[in-house]
Amino acid sequence: MTVPTVVDRLVQQAILQVLDPILDPNFSETSYGFRVGCSAHEALERARQYVAGGRDIVVDIDLEKFFDRVNHDVLMNRLSRHVDDRRLLRIIGRFLRAGLMQDGVCVTRREGTPQGGPLSPLLANLLLDDLDKELERRGHCFVRYADDCNIYVQSLKAGERVMAGVSAFLETKLRLRVNRQKSAVAHVWERKFLGHRLLPGGRLGIAPQSLDRAKERVRQITRRNRGVGFVEVIGELNRFLTGWVAFFRNAECKSHLQRLDEWIRHKLRCLRLKMCKYTKPLADWLRKLGVPKLRAWLLALSGKGWWRLSGSPQAAEGMSLAWFKSQGLVSLTSRYDQLNR
């Protein structure tokens, strides 16, 4: 991946402001990624409607390293259909072919778009618009968000036919590579789309992978060796959790959020106890939180690991729900309920 310089980004942004009004109106209404006025939630709603209508088999197509595999000739050919200015086409071509540094050596780029640049998402949508138009021509029900394309059918047999036909189109017409290991034809609840899992009847759930990634992010934020104070940890957690639960607000996931809330509080209790480091500061801290002296010292002298200590009745008594509320910690379940009122 390469990141454009400030000057390159400025020029690309100027080109984007010119091209977007020309190209975007021609894009399919089932394309939701990187478009003004479109969102992931709208893409999920359309997918949900397809499943609610009985199309519970998904053809999930994964494009292998899409942004690194874009064929320059194919892309420029598509762009020339809408842009007559040869000077502008030459400038865009230069951006595409701009060299990149690998191990200190400048390497000529022969395919791919410069990721991180303002122009790349629009060019990606332009190339994949051919896929959208082909799927519309064939009468398929589909949703595309950037390079994530799901096609909804009514049987596994039909899904296999669609997978074969669409893969051939992508590889021969657009010269893109389909990742056979990650692509699949399956029931919708066996796959994920934009971090969600579609359930029977068109209901939305949260994908297990999304929960795993959320936990990993919490682990990173609550690492003891970061040298960050407890108040700062709470603030960083709140910023992450608020945005995360807002993204999944339409999913049926309250029980998952309750368990995640409990696990987060356990992690924070563990972090706060670790900050005491030694036996006496630990006992003093628990007593300060209202834990009786004998019970506080029994925990401090127990010799158990920090995770077991943080799961003890004394830790739960001292660092209770009310205590976490006083610290300003966001509750995922409460926030979820507020968003769904």
3-state SS record for the chain: CCCCCHHHHHHHHHHHHHHHHHHHHHCCCCECCCCCCCCHHHHHHHHHHHHHCCCCEEEEEEECCHHHHCEHHHHHHHHHCCCCCHHHHHHHHHHHHCCEEECCEEECCCECCCCCCCCHHHHHHHHHHHHHHHHHHCCCEEEEECCEEEEEECCHHHHHHHHHHHHHHHHHCCCCCECCCCCEEEEHHHCCECCEEEEHHHEEEECHHHHHHHHHHHHHHCCHHHCCCHHHHHHHHHHHHHHHHHHCCCCCCHHHHHHHHHHHHHHHHHHHHHHHCCHHHHHHHHHHCCCCHHHHHHHHCCCCCHHHHHCCHHHHHHCCHHHHHHCCCCCHHHHHHHHCC
The dihedral through the CA atoms of 80, 83, 86, 91 has a sign that is negative
Within 13 A of 59's CA, how many CA atoms are on the CB side?
24
The dihedral through the CA atoms of 26, 28, 29, 34 has a sign that is negative
**Strand 184-187 relative to strand 57-62, pairing:** antiparallel
Alpha-carbon span 61 to 148, nearest angstrom: 7
**Residue whose C-alpha is closest to residue 144's, from 24, 23, 34, 251:** 34
Angle formed by the axes of helices 254-276 and 208-221, to 10°? Answer: 20
Cross-strand bridge partners of residue 193: 196
| Contact yes or no for 195/248 (Cβ under 8 A) | yes
Model pLDDT, residue 3? 55
Residue whose structure tokens are 């401090």: 300
Residue-by-residue pLDDT tens, the chain, 341 positions: 455 567 778 888 999 999 999 999 999 999 999 998 899 999 999 999 999 999 999 999 999 988 888 889 999 999 999 999 999 999 988 888 775 555 555 556 667 776 677 888 999 999 999 999 999 999 999 999 999 999 999 999 999 999 999 999 999 999 999 999 999 999 999 999 999 999 999 999 999 999 999 999 999 999 988 888 999 999 999 999 999 999 999 999 999 999 999 999 999 999 999 999 999 999 999 999 999 999 999 999 998 999 999 999 999 999 999 999 999 999 999 999 999 98
Model pLDDT, residue 222? 95
By CB atoms closer than 10 A (0-12, 13-18, 19+), residue 169 is middle
Q: What predicted TM-score, i.e. pTM, was given to this entire model?
A: 0.87
Alpha-carbon span 277 to 262, nearest angstrom: 23
Model pLDDT, residue 94? 85
Model pLDDT, residue 126? 94
By CB atoms closer than 10 A (0-12, 13-18, 19+), residue 310 is buried
Phi, psi of 61 (to 5 degrees): -105, 125
Model pLDDT, residue 99? 55
